[in-house]
Structure 1
Amino acid sequence: MAETLKEKTAKGLFWGGMNNFVQQVVGLVFGIILGRLLSPSDYGMIAMITIFSQIANAIQNSGFGAALTNLDHPTDEDYNSVFWFNVTASTTMYVILFFCAPLIADFYHTPALVPLSRYVFLSFVFGSFATAPYAYLFKNFQAKLQTKSGIIAVVSSSVVGAVLAFLGFGYWALATQSLVFVGVSSIMAWHYSAWHPTLHIDYRPAMRMFKFSCKILATTIATQINNNVLNILLGHYFSAHDTGNYNQAYQWDSKCFNLVQGMVNQVAQPVLVDLRSNQGRQLQALRKLMRFTSFIAFPLLLGFGLVAREFIVLAITAKWLPSAELLQLLVISGATIPLVSLLSSLVISEGRSGLYFWITASLGVVEIGLMLLLYPYGIRTMVIAYVLVNIVWLFVWHFFVNRMVGYSLWQFLKDTMPFALAALGVMVATHLLTSAISNLWLLLFSRIIIAVLLYYAVMRVARVKILQECVNFIFKKKR
């Protein structure tokens, strides 16, 4: 069984990595195209209403995906109950938000948000049809099928968005892109899932799960508020142009940390749930996942910060230059987000959804309070505070995980800090070696190549086990 679980984990990481790599590469290509075709104000319009659709989406899902995964043997009746609950809840929420659209527009002093909001909010109605099928794929380690559906969805939606942007549809292109992505994802989930709903509607299994899932729901809402707190406040206190500049930086930052986070999330909770009866093996698995995540996250995010200015100017032109400085700040906390995701997966796998909520909610309270105090000092100050608070909260998560499974601070630092320090040292050395280069194209590629080679050399010299295991697995897959 241990060997089977190990194989499942390795394959899940591989396909999760493939899924996120392809999605982020496609996102990179089309992000450049859209960044050149659209203005900061276009991005700002979408950024201001993203939080509302995300909260509605969380309410529609109600944490049932995590609840189904936490069940040892979920039945067809469980999946069917969750499916019909989601469809009912999403339809209700869309009607509520449809009539709330004028209030949203008033908050941002932007009347054009009324029709845009009503259009964008259709995405969570489409998504409600995929929650249960995706939960089935996730629970059963069907990472390869999830990868296929994710790639098809991101490619098709990106093409639609780029075509509409080229035709001059502005922020409507971004809105349509998100709708197409959710719609295609839902269709593919139905296609690949071996489970399909029946017309027998019984909410009782969903209600039995609600005690656990409602806390996941509350936490997801808090998380979305945390992630979008700057979009909300910048949209209210500053202009759509300023909001768009910040959102562009956040989008590129999220592309990087989602590459790692999505890969690990593909397997983390199912693996930790399977091992929760054996705390020693569970902690061992958590530590190995933590080392693997740190091995990738720190060089990727800090490396992107190293080339942020050159990348932004060359890829989406100098009109987005204000985003580059903000991006260089955001990647610092972005490197810790996949680690937080792992720690929170352990909390969820132990059934501690209440603790999961309170840790996340307290972060939101601190962030909102700080942002309200600091907005008179400008966007840069707000971003710096946002980064620092998120780094501090990494250790808050660790504190509670330590109390639950005995993951000591020394063990945590031993698993993460060598990679963080190695990546930081490599980026500093690369910056010094390339500081005399003035040509932006040469500077960009020189920094990428030198940083990759230096980091690989450091890992080889230090005989890092994770590196050798990754190399062995890749060659095994080729054979």
Structure 2
Amino acid sequence: MSSSLAHSAARGALFTMGAQGGKMVLQLMSVVTLSRLLSPHDYGLLAIVLVIIGVGEIFRDFGLTSASVQAPELSDGQRDNLFWINTGLGMVLAAAIFFTAGPVAAFMHEEELVPIIRVLSTTFLFNGLATQYRAQLMRALRFRATSVIDIAAATLALGSALVAAVLGAGYWSLVIQQLVNSLTLLLGAVVAGPWRPRRYSRNHPVSPLVRLGGNLVASNLASYIGNQIDTIIVGRRFGTTSLGLYNRSYQLIMTTFSQIRSPLSNVAIPVMSRVQKEQVRFNSYVAMGQVALGYGLGIPIALVAGLADPVVRIMLGAQWIAAIPFMRLFCGATLMSTLAFVGYWVYVSRGLGNQLFRYSMVSLGIRAVCIIAGSFFGTLGVAAGVFAAPLLSWSLSIYWLSRVTPVPVRSLWLGGFRILGLTGSVTAVSWLTASAIHAGAWLTLLAGIGAGAVAVAAFLILPVYRRDARELVSFIRLMLRRDRTV
């Protein structure tokens, strides 16, 4: 890799991670502010619509963003043709979703869905127009531009939603948020993009790119539906109010922490890829990675689980108290999926894409079975199924990895149990502390965090946990000097 390209990639990673952090902050602000102005029913309605929009978006993109970005060469004519393909798909899907609004509303027993679906169907057109503009920014490594556009869109969308909610627009404020976000992303990409599309031309074939994109559609669709089956079941069987409680809890916990994990992958995977042929060092990095993820994210997750009551009162407001048990179950699910996440690093760093796909499909099947089984016990049963799935998948992940590539199985098992022991204790101590204090939410939260910190300090008396702490520090230092030799 040339020094200029390496420099651009490094700067791109910095801007991308910065934008990710900014979007996460805006998402939390959205949860905190809008949850006080809107009801669980409002959020439940939008959650149903976004599942439908998400399925349509997979077909609207048709994998052509990835295909155009990854193509070694892309002529101006091919780029123009891809623009018209994405735009055409956007128009077709906008019309299709518009006319299926009635049947969807009837299936979900919610007539209010009809106008929401029809209005949001326009986002397919906006996104179709924006697809190749954004892809070209990515091909040109203009990560600063994409980061600025993303942050601007999220900020304007949140501001518009807040104004609408204050004025009493109800769930329409959430619709406005989606529309403003899509429209701003389109306008930003067009302004930043240095090209204007010309007419479609058969002289510039794009069939190889379309085939490549099409191959991504099936896997993306299976993954998306597998991850959204809980939303569909809760909305269909238990109504929009229950779905709103479920969805806000899910977004606050699982989505937030998954957004933290993703940028870490951008740093960890290149480092592990460099040492993949040095088995001893690779095993050491795998074990350190699990320790870093498990403690670095596990302790905050454990505190949120133990202090779910004050966290909900502070973050969402009193009308969301029923979300507390959902949050605790989702904290458990997030912790277990975090323990298994280091396996993803191994698959990618060693180029085991086919094995990763197979494991992912099996994991999605386990998740679907757990959620369907849990749904017979109500909405909390669905959340329990979401927790049970990564509990099973963690064990499967270690076994599956050991069958396809050398990994430190014993270290992963023992490290995982140590992490569970510490985080479980932190949850219990902070929960008991919060239960014993009859004070305001903020005072209860601070007392619980203090008690959790004492519990962590107590574990550091044990030599094995002090060793884990040293490995955590070593891993952080390693990640910070990723641009040097490892």
Smaller-chain TM-score bracket: 0.7 to 0.9
CA distance, structure 2, for counterparts of residue 426 and residue 345 of structure 1: 27
Residue 454 and residue 396 in structure 1: after superposition, are their counterparts in 2 closer, same or farther (change >3 A)?
same
149-158 or 35-44, which deviates more: 149-158
Rounded Cα–Cα distance in structure 1 between residues aligned with 2:404 and 2:138: 25
1:46 shift after superposition: 0.9
Deviation at 1:356, TM superposition (A): 5.2
CA distance in 2, matches of 1:285, 1:213: 37
> Do residues 322 (structure 1) and 322 (structure 2) align?
yes
- Alignment length (residue pairs): 473
2:359, 2:421 → 1: CA distance? 27
Q: SS where residue 239 of structure 1 aligns?
A: helix
Task: Please tell me whether residue 102 in structure 1 is matched to residue 108 in structure 2.
Answer: no
Tell me what 1:464 maps to.
Answer: 470
The farther-off stretch of 260-269 and 155-164 is: 260-269
8 Å Cα contact 2:254-2:330 kept in structure 1: no
Determine the C-alpha separation between the residues in 1 that align with 2:94 and 2:25: 32
CA shift at 1:276, angstroms?
Answer: 9.1
Distance 1:144 1:401, change over 3 A: farther
Is the Cα–Cα contact under 8 Å of residues 257 and 334 in structure 1 kept in the other structure? yes
Distance in 2 separating the partners of 1:208 and 1:369: 37
Residue in structure 2 matched with residue 40 of structure 1 by the alignment:
40
Structure 1 residue 437 displacement after superposition: 2.1
Q: Secondary structure at the match of 1:199?
A: coil
Counterpart in the other structure of 1:444: 445
1:81-108: CA deviations, max 9, x gaps?
Answer: 5444322222221111111111101101
**Counterparts of 1:140 and 1:286, CA distance in 2:** 32
- Find the residue that maps to 1:229 and give its secondary structure: helix
Aligned residue for 2:240? Answer: 240
Matched, 1:377 2:377: yes
Which residue identity lines up with residue 109 of structure 2 in the other structure? H
**1:464 counterpart SS class:** helix
Match of 2:258 in 1: 258
Partner of 1:126: 126
Paired amino acid for 1:315: M
Distance in 2 of aligned mates of 1:159 and 1:362:
41
Whether the 8 Å CA contact 1:344–1:356 is kept in 2: the answer is yes
Q: Structure 2 length normalisation: TM-score?
A: 0.80
Secondary structure of 2:384's counterpart equals helix
Instruction: Write the distance in 1 (CA, Å) between the matches of 2:412 and 2:11.
Output: 25
Q: Which moved more, 1:373-382 or 1:448-457?
A: 448-457
Deviations 1:149-184 (A, max 9, x none): 322222111111111111111111111112222322
Matching residue of 2:208? 208
Bigger relative contact order (CA 8 A; separation at least 6): 1
Q: Residues 258 and 375 of structure 1: is their aligned pair in 2 closer, same or farther, counting only changes over 3 Å?
A: closer
Q: Identity of aligned pairs, percent?
A: 19
**Is the 2:305–2:427 contact (alpha carbons within 8 Å) kept by the matching residues of 1?**
no
Are 2:310 and 1:310 aligned? yes
Q: 1:169: which partner in 2?
A: 169
Amino acid at match of 2:298: F
Q: Is the 8 A contact 1:134 1:189 kept in 2?
A: yes
**C-alpha distance in 2 between matches for 1:69 and 1:283:** 30
- Change in 2 beyond 3 A, CA 1:473/1:119: same
Structure 1 pair 302–20 and aligned structure 2 pair: CA distance change class (3 A): farther
Q: Which residue of 1 aligns with 2:299?
A: 299
Alignment check: 8 A CA contact 1:306 1:427 kept: yes
Write the deviation string for residues 377-403 of structure 1: whole angstroms up to 9, x where unpaired.
Answer: 211122112221133234545555555
Q: How far apart, CA to CA, are the structure 2 residues paired with 1:448 and 1:156?
A: 34
1:388 and 2:367 equivalent?
Answer: no
Question: CA, structure 1 residues 210+446, in 2 after alignment: closer, same or farther (shift >3 Å)?
Answer: farther
Counterpart amino acid of residue 467 in structure 1: V
**1:191 positional shift:** 4.6
Q: Relative to 1, partners in 2 of residues 1:397 and 1:103: Cα closer, same or farther, differing over 3 Å?
A: farther
In structure 1, the residue matched to 2:155 is 155
Question: Which amino acid in 2 is paired with 1:159?
Answer: G
Deviations 1:349-399 (A, max 9, x none): 888766555544444444444444443321112211222113323454555
Measured in 2, the distance between the counterparts of 1:54 and 1:107 equals: 18
1:392-430 deviation per Cα after TM superposition (whole angstroms, max 9, x unaligned): 234545555555553453464577665555444444444
Bigger radius of gyration among the two: 2
Q: For residues 87 and 349 of structure 2, what CA distance do their matches in structure 1 show? A: 26
Q: Deviations over 1:38-65 (max 9, x none)?
A: 1111111111222110011111122334
Change (3 A) 1:67 1:379: same
Quote the residue 1:231 is aligned against.
231
1-structure distance, mates of 2:275, 2:65: 21
Partner of 1:115: 115
Q: Structure 1 residues 170 and 436, CA, compared in 2 at 3 Å: closer, same or farther?
A: same
In the alignment, is the contact (CA less than 8 A) between 1:37 and 1:165 conserved in 2?
A: yes
Q: How many angstroms apart in 1 are the aligned matches of 2:243 and 2:69? A: 37
- Residues 315-352 of structure 1, C-alpha deviation per residue, up to 9 Å, x if partnerless? 32222111111011012222354666675576578887
Q: Report Cα offsets for 1:106-158 as digits up to 9, x if no partner.
A: 10111221111111232233223343444455567655444333222221111
SS of 1:111 mapped into structure 2: coil
Other-structure match for 2:74: 75
Say if 1:235 and 1:243, in contact at 8 Å, map to a contact too: yes
Alpha carbons of structure 1 residues 429 and 200: separation in structure 2 relative to 1, 3 Å: same
Cα distance change, pair 363–110 in 1 and its aligned pair in 2 (3 A): same
List runs of 5+ in structure 2 lacking aligned partners: none
Mapped partners of 1:405, 1:250: distance in 2 = 33
User: Larger deviation: 359-368 or 31-40?
Assistant: 359-368
Alpha-carbon separation, structure 2, partners of 1:127 and 1:148: 17
Given the alignment of the two structures, is residue 199 of structure 1 paired with residue 205 of structure 2, yes or no? no
Contact persistence 2:44–2:241 (CA under 8 A): yes
